[in-house]
């Protein structure tokens, strides 16, 4: 039996304006003109939240990142400025330096959501009213949006909101935006020219150029990180998800592992989750813990480097679970399938040291509440210490 849906349409509040049906990039909402019924096909839904933010009657309910929760989170941070970011975007060094020059960077609160198009304009007005002086929105580049049109929709809304602020006598400069997307980058001095990255890249963004060094076309790079997983010399990194950063984050959980084991919590589990398969609360971005489970965010399951898994075992984790998007729902088309092949190959190697049952990959979606917890419980039940 499937868990409760995370997106619902409350028919008693629906005005039948069919804005949700016309704006959904995945054609998950339909309108029957004869019966007047508005229906949501949860299997087509990608939980982008675009319909939620566009509904004028607030008849669409979504379990993640509700306006009240986001407002409370921003209020708790007590900052004068707010950076609202899509998970597929990044604050580049030049932007970070600009923020530092235009007001202490420490005075900027950062809020990450799966897509900034899910944020309704009233939320931005509410935080401005609450005292936030400047809001910087960072959506993905228009052709890199994980939800097809989310980036363009959000930019259109923000431009309209800027005009509204000007018309009512408020500072339109309080709201600005800059597009950005996560990219890979290559250290040419570490590259051995093996060609694994060029063969693996789903977008043909990497080529081996004379004298045998990998070269990246940034415009073609989608930021999936599949190339990172197959680079034997660790010459490729993904912005914001660098190899050394991930390894250091894993190592920081040593004390957590020791404390949890001393309390008898049972097997310690490391869960590497695709950022599009799991939607944790706003204050748990990139890495967080829950009882005997440590969660590590990655842009796509295809980025899982065997080194991350082996390092997790060496630091004391009893099991490693890779949480990928469901088949057919990968934001990078077949990243989850590539990850599955990698995990199968790694498990065959771990069999030599009797650890093959301590590593698994599962497929889940945020569209069903509790599905991820069910997968974790199933994995933990298979681990016997």
Residues 227-265: pLDDT tens digits?
999 999 999 999 999 999 999 999 999 998 988 888 888
80 in any annotated domain = yes
277 and 361 housed in the same domain: yes
Q: What is the pLDDT of residues 54-105, one digit of tens each?
A: 999 999 999 999 999 999 989 888 899 999 999 999 998 888 888 777 665 6
297 in any annotated domain = yes
* For residues 152-169, average pLDDT: 91
334 in any annotated domain = yes
- Looking at 104-113, 201-210, 217-226, 230-239, which range is the least confident one? 104-113
26 in any annotated domain = yes
71 and 56 housed in the same domain: no
* For residues 24-53, average pLDDT: 96
Give the pLDDT band (50/70/90) at residue 217: very high
Give the pLDDT band (50/70/90) at residue 32: very high
Q: What is the pLDDT of residues 266-305, one digit of tens each?
A: 899 999 999 999 999 888 888 999 989 999 999 999 999 9
Return the pLDDT at 259.
Answer: 87
Residue 1 pLDDT > 80: no
200 and 304 housed in the same domain: no
334 and 304 housed in the same domain: yes
Q: Which of 62, 87, 108 is the last residue of a domain?
A: 62
Q: What is the pLDDT of residues 125-153, one digit of tens each?
A: 999 988 899 999 999 998 999 999 999 99
Return the pLDDT at 3.
Answer: 82
123 and 250 housed in the same domain: no
Return the pLDDT at 384.
Answer: 65
250 and 216 housed in the same domain: no
151 in any annotated domain = yes
User: Going by C-beta distance under 8 Å and a sequence separation of 6 or more, which residues neighbour residue 8?
Assistant: 40, 60, 61
258 and 352 housed in the same domain: yes
Return the pLDDT at 291.
Answer: 86
120 in any annotated domain = yes
Residue 313 pLDDT > 60: yes
Q: Which of 62, 84, 102 is the last residue of a domain?
A: 62
Burial of residue 35 (CB within 10 Å: 0-12, 13-18, 19+) is exposed
Return the pLDDT at 93.
Answer: 87
Q: Which residues of 111-146 are buried (b: 16+ CB within 10 A; e: fewer)?
A: bbbbbbbbbbeebbbbbbeeebebbbbbbbeeebbb
Residue 181 pLDDT > 80: yes
171 and 71 housed in the same domain: yes
Return the pLDDT at 60.
Answer: 97
State both tokens at 123: 């939320």
Q: Domain range holding 104?
A: 67-177
Return the pLDDT at 94.
Answer: 87
Domain count, the chain: 4
Return the pLDDT at 285.
Answer: 81
Q: Residue 122: enclosing H or E segment and its boundaries? A: helix 121-129
36 and 156 housed in the same domain: no
Give pTM, 2 decimals. 0.94
What Å distances lie between residue 385 and 265, 301, 309, 382, CA to CA?
A: 12, 27, 18, 10
Return the pLDDT at 103.
Answer: 62
Q: Which of 192, 213, 238 is the last residue of a domain?
A: 238
Nearest to 73 by CA among 110, 122, 117: 110
300 and 170 housed in the same domain: no
Mean pLDDT taken over the chain:
93
d(CA 248, CA 286): 13
Return the pLDDT at 339.
Answer: 98
| Preceding amide of 211 cis, omega within 30 | yes
153 in any annotated domain = yes
Return the pLDDT at 104.
Answer: 57
Judge contact between 197 and 214, C-beta under 8 A. yes
100 and 122 housed in the same domain: yes
What Å distances lie between residue 126 and 110, 135, 163, CA to CA?
A: 16, 12, 17
- CATH number assigned to the domain comprising residue 210: 3.30.70.20
d(CA 94, CA 25): 32
User: Going by C-beta distance under 8 Å and a sequence separation of 6 or more, which residues neighbour residue 186?
Assistant: 197, 206, 213, 214, 215, 216, 235, 236
Return the pLDDT at 64.
Answer: 95
User: Going by C-beta distance under 8 Å and a sequence separation of 6 or more, which residues neighbour residue 45?
Assistant: 7, 26, 28, 367
Return the pLDDT at 260.
Answer: 83
1 in any annotated domain = no
* For residues 1-19, average pLDDT: 90
Judge contact between 203 and 220, C-beta under 8 A. yes
Return the pLDDT at 102.
Answer: 67
348 and 263 housed in the same domain: yes
- Look-up of token digits 């004379």: 210
- In DSSP terms, 186 is beta-bridged to 236
Query: Residues 297, 301, 302, 307: is their CA dihedral positive or negative?
Result: positive
Return the pLDDT at 340.
Answer: 98
């Amino acid at each position: 039996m499937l868990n409760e849906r995370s997106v619902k349409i409350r028919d008693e509040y629906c005005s039948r304006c069919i804005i949700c049906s016309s704006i959904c990039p995945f054609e998950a909402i339909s309108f029957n003109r004869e019966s007047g019924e508005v229906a949501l096909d949860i299997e087509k839904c990608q939980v982008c939240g675009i319909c939620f933010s566009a509904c004028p009657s607030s008849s669409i309910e979504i379990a993640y990142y509700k306006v009240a929760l986001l407002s409370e989170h921003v209020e708790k941070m007590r900052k004068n400025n707010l950076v609202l970011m899509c998970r597929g975007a990044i604050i580049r060094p030049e932007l970070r330096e600009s923020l530092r020059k235009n007001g202490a960077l420490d005075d900027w609160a950062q809020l990450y959501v799966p897509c900034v198009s899910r944020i309704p304009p009233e939320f931005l007005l509410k935080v401005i009213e609450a005292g936030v002086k400047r809001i910087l929105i960072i959506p993905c580049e228009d052709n890199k949006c994980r939800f097809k049109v989310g980036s363009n929709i959000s930019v259109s809304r923000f431009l309209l909101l800027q005009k509204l602020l000007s018309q009512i006598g408020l500072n339109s400069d309080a709201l600005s935006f800059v597009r950005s997307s996560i990219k890979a980058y290559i250290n040419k001095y570490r590259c051995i020219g093996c060609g694994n990255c060029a063969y693996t890249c789903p977008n043909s963004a990497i080529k081996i150029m004379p004298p045998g060094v990998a070269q990246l076309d940034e415009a073609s790079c989608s930021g999936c990180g599949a190339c990172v997983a197959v680079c034997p010399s660790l010459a490729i990194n993904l912005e914001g998800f660098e190899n050394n950063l991930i390894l250091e984050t894993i190592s920081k959980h040593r004390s957590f592992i020791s404390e949890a084991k001393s309390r008898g919590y049972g097997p310690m589990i490391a869960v590497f989750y695709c950022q599009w398969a799991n939607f944790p609360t706003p204050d748990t971005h990139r890495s967080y813990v829950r009882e005997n489970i440590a969660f590590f965010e990655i842009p796509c399951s295809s980025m899982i480097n065997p080194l991350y898994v082996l390092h997790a075992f060496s630091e004391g984790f009893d099991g490693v679970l890779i949480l990928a998007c469901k088949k057919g729902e990968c934001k990078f088309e077949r990243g989850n399938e590539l990850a599955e092949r990698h995990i199968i190959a790694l498990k065959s190697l771990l069999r030599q040291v009797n650890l093959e049952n301590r590593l698994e990959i599962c497929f889940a979606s945020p569209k069903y509440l509790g599905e991820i917890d069910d997968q974790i419980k199933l994995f933990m039940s298979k681990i016997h210490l």
